[in-house]
Structures are given as C-alpha cells and as structure tokens.
Structure 1
Amino acid sequence: MTTTQDSTNSVAPQTNRWPAVAAVAVGTFLLVTAEQLPIGLLSPVGSELRISEGTAGLMMTGASIVAALAAPAVPLVIGRLDRRVLLVVLMGLMTAANAISAVAPNFAILLASRVLVGIAIGGFWAVAAGLAVRLVTDKAVSKATALIFGGVGAANVLGVPLGTALGGFAGWRLAFVALSILALVVCLVLVAVLPPLVATQPVGPRQLADQLRNPGARAGILATFLLVTGHFAAYTFVGPILQQLAGIDAAFVGPLLLGFGAAGIVGNFLAGATLGRALHRTVLGIAAGLTVLVLLYPLLGHGPIGAVILLIGWGLIFGGVSVSLQTWMITAAPNAVEAASALWVAVFNLAIGLGALAGGAVVNAVSLQAVLIFAGVLLALATLAVWSGRGALASVPETED
C-alpha cells in the first residue's frame, strides 16, 4: 500500500502497536453496535414506554444524525488535544450514555442519552478511522486498517442480531447495561495501551473544505453516500424480506442474520488483503457485487435456498465496504487523513439514517420488492461514482505491501 502520513503525525511509527490497534477496533465495534442496537429493541422499548415502534426508531435515526454532525465538529473543537485523551473521554461518555439509557424513566430521557451516544460515535470513529498510520509502520497500515474496520464492519452487520438476542434474553434495559460495562472496560484498556497522539496540525475548516475540492476524496464521499444509503434502505427491512418474500420462519431470521454478520467479518479481511495491490478494483468490485446481489433478490429470493445464498453473499461483500472506502479516503488525502476521515464518517452515518428513512418510505408507499429495486439503483449509481473516480487515484501506485 502506498505510504500515507497524516499531518497530525510528523514522525512515522517505527514499531507496530498491535494492542492499541486491537483496543481501538473493539472500541469502534462497541460504538457502532450501540448505534445499531435499537433496531432489535424497537418492540420491547415501544411496549414498555408506551410509544409506537416508529417513534422508538428515533433512537437510531437521532444517534446517526448526531454522529454525522459530531464527526467533523469534534476534530474542529478539540484543536491540538491529545487524541489519546479524546478517545478515552469519548469512551467514558459512551459508558455514561448507555447507563442513562438503561435507567431512563421515559422516552425523552432515553432519546437524550442517544444524543450523547451519537456524539461519542461521531467523534471516536472520525479519529479512529485514521489512526492506523499513527500506530503501525507503513508496511502494516493495510492490515491495521482492516483490523480497526473489522470492528466497524462487524458492528454494522452484527448490530441487529446482537440487539435482538440481548433484548430477547435479558430485556432491553440489560442490553444497554451490558454495553455500558463493556465500554468502561475498553475505556480502561485504552488508557493502558494507547501512546500519546498529539496533533501538530489540528483540523480546521479549511482542511475540511479542501477535501471537497480533492477529486479523489470527493468521489469517495459520493460513493460512500450512495452505497451506504442503498444498503441500509434494504437491510433495515431484511427481516420482513426474509419472512414475507422468501417464506422463512421468523425463528430462523436471527440465526441467518448472524450468518450474514459472520460472512461480513470474512469479507472485511478479504478486502483488506487486496487493497494494497488493487484499491480501485477492490472498491469497484464491492459496489458492483452489491448491486447485482440486491437486484437479484426480487428475482431469485422468493424461496429459502435462493434467499439464504443471496443473503450470505450480501454479507460477505458488504463486510468489505468500511475498510475499502476508508482506505480510499486515506489514499486520496494522505496529508489530511483526520480531516478526510471526519467528513467520511459524517457521510457514512448520515447515509445510515437516510437509508433507513428512505427505505421505510418506499416500503410504506409500494412494497418490499420495490425497496430492493430502489436500493439496487442507488448501488448502481455508487458503482458509477467509483468508476468515475479511477482517474483521481491514478497517480497513486498500487504495489505489494
């Protein structure tokens, strides 16, 4: 992979800090799982707090939108603050926010706690996204990035089944308690293993604006928005799709989503292994593969066998999305990794919320088959955006690690 060096780190690390990389990966997993958790808890939360499932869905939409705002805002506000201190503080905020969620007496308090979760998600992910170049040597950046985004990818594909399982076995409040306890553990581990990460050139409005003038970063942001919006427009309704379209019993939906998640974890590391040699071709293959699979679902997903095969393929390919697109952004903006990552994380989280919202509108107005076609069209546009960005990365040699 091409050498990248963030402007916040003037000296490239001479040794690999794998415990620190692993701790950041677990942190991103917990934060993004917290973002996805409400999807599996809508019914029990709505029932206990006497609100509709649609209203309960604001727990996820609200956190995603706040995370999108926090991703660029936090780096702007903190200036030269040691990123090690920032990550620890944000994980502490995550601990407190989920504890508040667990004891919330009404929906207003619960929604306020989700705002705090959104701040933690956006700030932590925006900084963590570019940390690989500061924690490992140049040759290990691809592997470290894959590990960090193994946490993000695993959370994106496992968040729903984990939330459903925790809520079913222990109750929705205990699900938040579990997240709070795990966040506290990660907070303490971060204190122990992270080195000082002082920013010599903090992110400012100019650095953020520059990324919109960078053709490679601009193509990556557009591709991310279209791809993530398309995915979540369909994936938010994967349960009803499996039951109503494929005729699969509700009891098998949870295990199948775990299979989707397991395939996604494999896909994350498969993509990470190829990015150093063929970045553009890897991202293009992921976007095109998702387009084909989602568009095939209305045609071949009417029976259990076809639906399961397509679902596992979908998980395998989507698992490579986070690590691939983040690597695209690092490559397109090697001297402004934190700024580019902040914008990318903002767009990613915004697309999650908008995808779920748009998908719900299509399902309500038309049908489940229609939302798959809608998602497929967005994914096709994402493929075109990736294809159009090939020239922007042409000056970056794709070589063996």
Structure 2
Amino acid sequence: MRSAPRGWLGVAAVASATFTVVTSEMLPVGLLTPIGSALKVSEGTAGLTLTVTGVVGAVSAPLLTPLLGRFDRRTVLCALMAVLAAGNLLAAWSANFAVMVVARVLVGIGMGGVWAIAAGLAARLVARKAIGSATSLIFSGIALASVLGVPAGTYIGELADWRTAFIAVGALALVVLVALAVLLPRLPAEQGVLLGGVMRLCGEARVRTGLGVVALLVTGHFAAYTYVRPVLEEVSGASAGTIGTLLLVYGIAGVAGNFAAGAGAGRSPRSTLMVISAVLATTVVLVPVLGGSLLTAGVLLAVWGLSYGGVSVSTQTWLLASAPQAREAVSSLFVGVFNAAIALGALTGGLAADGAGATAVMWLGGVLGVAALAVTALGKAPSSGRH
C-alpha cells in the first residue's frame, strides 16, 4: 500500500530531477557567447553543445532502458544524476571544446536516462486516482526549467562567469541525488526490457499515433520558437529587454498549461491534444499577422505557452495509457522521439529562416501543428488517460 505523504515527496524529488536535467540540457542557451570566447570557437560551433546533448539524449533513452535490466530504479536514478553532475562539472573545467563535447555527452546520457525513467514513475508512487496530478507535477520540472532554470543559469553567468553556472547546476544535481536517495522508496524493476521489445512497441497503433503527434508538435514548436526573437524584433520592433519579458510570460503560461492539460489528458488524451494542436497552430501563425502590437504579441505568446506547456504531459499520458504494461519502454521511446524532434525543429526552422525569412518559420510551425491535429483526430487513441 502506497503511503500518500511519502509518495508525494517522492514525486516532488522526481520533479526536481526533471527540472535539473532539462536545465542542464538548455543551460548553454544563455551562455553561448562567453563559452565560444573562452574555448576559442564561434557561437555557431558553441551551439553544438545543445545539439550533441539532444542527439545523445534521443539515442540513449531507448538504449539505456534495456541495459538497466533488473536494477532498482531508485539506484539507477541516483547513478544517472551522478553522471549528470559529472558532466556539468567537467563542462565547468573544460580547457578546450573537445572536453566540452565529452562533458555534454555525459549530460545527454544522464538526461535521456532520467527522463525515460521519471516519466512513468507517478503510477508507482501515488494512488491510481492521483496519477494524472502526479504526472503533471513530474513534468512541471520541465516547464519550470525554461522559466527559472535557464534564466538563473544565465544570471549566474553574468554575476560570475559561465563556468560558475555549470558548477552551480552540477551541485544542484548532487543535491537532487541525495533527495532521490532519501525520499524515494525502493523501486524494483517491474520487468526486464529488451531492445527488441522497445522497438516492437512501435507496431502498436496507439503508440505509433502518439509518437507521430509528439514528432509533429515538438518539431513544429521548435521550428518556430527557436527563432521567436528575430520574428518579434522584425514584426513588433521589440527590444531585447521586452523580448525577455514576453518570454517570461510565455514560460509562466507554460507551467499553467502543463497542469491544465494534465487534468484534461487524464480524462481524454485525444480531446486534450486536439485542442492543444489547434490552439498552437493558430497562435503560431497569428504571431507574424497580429504581432505588430506589443500587447497583442504578449497575448499570443501567453496563449502559445499555455498550449505548448501541455504537450509533454498530454502525449506522455497518451503513451502510458497505450502501453501500461511497458511504461519504461514506451517512456524511453517518448524521450527519444521528443529530443530528436527538438533537434529537427531547430534544423528545419533554420533552413526556413535562411531560405524564406524569419516569419516563414511561424508558417512552418503552423503547418506542422495542423498535421498533428489531423493525426490526433484520425489515429488510434486510448479511450482514457488512465494507466
């Protein structure tokens, strides 16, 4: 029988882990210029620190799950947080770019493994009726990383230097490791998972549909969001300070969207994702059309954040309900596709921006959002989000 207080403390610890891994992944966003200067590479090359981590996370998630075998998941999470801490601390002491790449590979391994395991743990920590809320709390760590984690890292970099920012996140990973060790119960592996078993899940129609929706929504979002700053500068004439405020509004709305969508997806994943897809596609397309006013741009960014904030928890709920007997395996596929879509979105957005101008990325994001809506409506879906 699960202890309610202990279970929720465990959920909070897991949420802190997702916050830490996503902060670690995205930390270079606000530090590219000083990193490039210190390591004597261009900002474009420094940006590969994000690409490397994303690609490694996408590959490691489905590969690590079979390799973890029968190890207790509390022990595994603690070990992965140690790898994450090591990656951040090595990044802080990088003497050249090659060492930084090795460090970011370690961060990718830790991130992919932690996210794959954490995504399905709510069902093992709280009562069945609370699984939706617990899953939302775990995924709130991802949303909060964008609102608090990355800006905090950038702020530390400004106050001290970029190496101190990596040391701070490495230290946070060690604190979270201790919290996981103390607050989580023993979590024996539910069943052995083979790589072939992970891949066979792609043959399940509901899983295949869910992964397709993840790929389309996340690719579309990052194709547009990666280039939101030049779009806002071009369309609304926003200054750097104003854009920072607009993105903070976006992030806060994203946290709210995470919890709202978690409640809705527990009842009907299909309906929730149809609303998310429609709103996201419409909002992204309207940014270059109606974003000339800063007030309108702020409203559109808030609605965009509200819709995208619900993508992670809704799609994860869909996939867990589609394969309740293989939570870790389907979660590893989810993490792999999600991270691959982030990389693909940034790449295709860059090609669109270079070829047709910055505002073209918004139209690309809108088209992919409409495609996600069609797949959600027409594909095979779980009857409810219970798992």
Q: TM-score range by the shorter chain?
A: over 0.9
Shift of 1:198: 1.1
The equivalent residue for 1:97 is 87
Question: Aligned match of 1:321 in 311, 315, 339?
Answer: 311
Partner of 2:358: 368
Deviations 1:298-318 (Å, cap 9, x if unpaired)?
211123122111111111111
Partner of 1:78: 68
Alpha-carbon deviations, 1:183-216, whole Å to 9, x = none?
Answer: 1100011110111111141211232123111111
Identify if the C-alpha distance between structure 1 residues 157 and 202 changes in structure 2 by more than 3 Å, giving closer, same or farther: farther
The corresponding residue for 1:131 is 121
The match for 1:333 is 323
Tell me which residue corresponds to 1:52: 42
Q: Which residue of 2 aligns with 1:236?
A: 226
How many correspondences in the alignment?
386
Alignment partner of 2:325: what SS?
A: coil
Distance 1:250 1:190, change over 3 A: same
SS of the residue corresponding to residue 381 of structure 2 reads helix
1:262 paired with 2:249, answer no
Taking the aligned partners of 2:27 and 2:247, their CA distance within structure 1 comes to 14
- Give the counterpart of 2:185 among 175, 192, 195: 195
What is the rounded CA distance, in whole Å, between the counterparts of 2:337 and 2:216 in structure 1? 10
Question: Once structures 1 and 2 are overlaid, which stretch shifts more, 196-205 or 314-323?
Answer: 196-205
Whether the 8 Å contact between 1:46 and 1:52 is mirrored in structure 2 is yes
Alignment equivalent of 2:166, drawn from 171, 176, 183:
176
**Shift of residue 245 of structure 1?**
2.2
Aligned partner of 1:32 in structure 2 is: 22
Give the SS at the match of 2:188: coil
CA change 1:53–1:266 in 2 (3 A) is: same
- Once the two structures are superposed, the pairs formed by residues 282-293 of structure 1 within 5 Å of their partners are 282-293=272-283
In structure 2, how many angstroms separate the alpha carbons of the residues matched to 1:340 and 1:42?
A: 34
* Partner residue in 2 for 1:185: 175
Partner of 2:52: 62
Match of 1:392 in 2: 381
Q: Answer whether contact 2:269 2:315 (CA < 8 A) is retained.
A: no
Q: Structure 1's 357 and 339: CA in aligned 2 closer, same or farther, altered over 3 A?
A: same
Tell me, yes or no, if the aligned pair for 1:330 and 1:341 is still in contact at 8 Å.
yes
| Most deviating of 15-24 and 326-335 | 15-24
Structure 2 unmatched runs, 5+: none
2:62–2:195 Cα contact (<8 Å) kept: no
CA displacement, residues 329-374 of structure 1 (integer Å, 9 cap, x when unaligned): 0111111111111101100011111111221122122211111111
Query: Quick one: distance in 1 between partners of 2:287 and 2:249?
Result: 17
CA distance in structure 1 between the aligned counterparts of 2:384 and 2:96, rounded to whole angstroms: 55
What displacement does 1:247 show? 0.6
Residue 295 in 1 paired to residue 295 in 2? no
Is residue 194 of structure 2 the alignment partner of residue 204 of structure 1?
yes
Give the letter for the 1:103 counterpart: W
Q: CA deviation at 1:156?
A: 4.6
Match of residue 8 from structure 1: none
Tell me, in whole angstroms, the C-alpha distance in 2 between the residues paired with 1:397 and 1:368.
Answer: 39
Any idea what the Cα deviations from partners look like across 1:47-66, whole Å, max 9, x if unmatched?
Answer: 22221111111000100000
The residue type equivalent to 1:387 in the other structure is A
Distance 1:256 1:161, change over 3 A: farther
* Counterpart Cα distance in 1 of 2:198 and 2:129: 27
The answer to whether structure 1 residue 345 and structure 2 residue 350 are counterparts is no
In structure 2, the partner of 1:149 is 139
Indicate if the aligned counterparts of 1:132 and 1:145 stay in contact, CA closer than 8 A. Answer: yes
Counterparts of 1:296 and 1:159, CA distance in 2: 29
Q: Deviations over 1:27-49 (max 9, x none)?
A: 00110111111121112211222
Are the structure 2 counterparts of residues 260 and 158 from structure 1 closer, same or farther at C-alpha, using a change threshold of 3 Å?
Answer: farther
The Cα shift of 1:246 comes to: 1.5
- Contact (CA 8 Å) 1:157, 1:319: kept in 2 or not? no
Question: Where do 5+ consecutive residues of structure 1 fail to align?
Answer: 1-11
**Is the Cα contact below 8 Å between 1:158 and 1:258 reproduced in 2?**
no
Structure 2: which amino acid aligns with 1:205? L
From 330, 344, 347, give the equivalent of 1:354: 344
Distance 1:286 1:339, change over 3 A: same
Residue 392 (structure 1) shift: 3.1
* Pick aligned residue for 1:164 from 154, 178, 186: 154
Q: Name which of structure 1's ranges 113-122 and 231-240 shifts more when overlaid on structure 2.
A: 231-240
Q: Is the 8 A contact 1:161 1:257 kept in 2?
A: no
Q: Is the contact between residue 266 and residue 317 of structure 2 (CA under 8 Å) also seen in structure 1?
A: no
The equivalent residue for 2:267 is 277
Q: State which of 22, 32, 39 in structure 2 corresponds to 1:42.
A: 32
Local SS of the residue matching 2:359: helix
The whole-number CA distance in structure 1 between the counterparts of 2:121 and 2:47 is 32
Q: How big is the alpha-carbon RMSD for the aligned residues of Structure 1 and Structure 2?
A: 1.7
Distance 2:246 2:384 in 1: 40
Q: Which residue in the other structure is 1:9 paired with? A: none
Given that residues 318 and 381 in structure 2 are in contact (C-alpha distance below 8 angstroms), is that contact kept between their aligned partners in structure 1? Answer: no
Once residues 264 and 200 of structure 1 are traced to their aligned partners in structure 2, the CA distance between those partners, rounded to angstroms, is 33
Alpha-carbon separation, structure 2, partners of 1:36 and 1:116: 14
8 A contact 1:20–1:194 mirrored in 2: yes
TM-superposition CA deviations, 1:212-265 (whole Å, max 9, x none): 111111001010011101111111112222222211111222222222111111
Give CA deviations for 1:75-95 in whole Å, capped at 9, x if unaligned.
Answer: 111111111110000001111
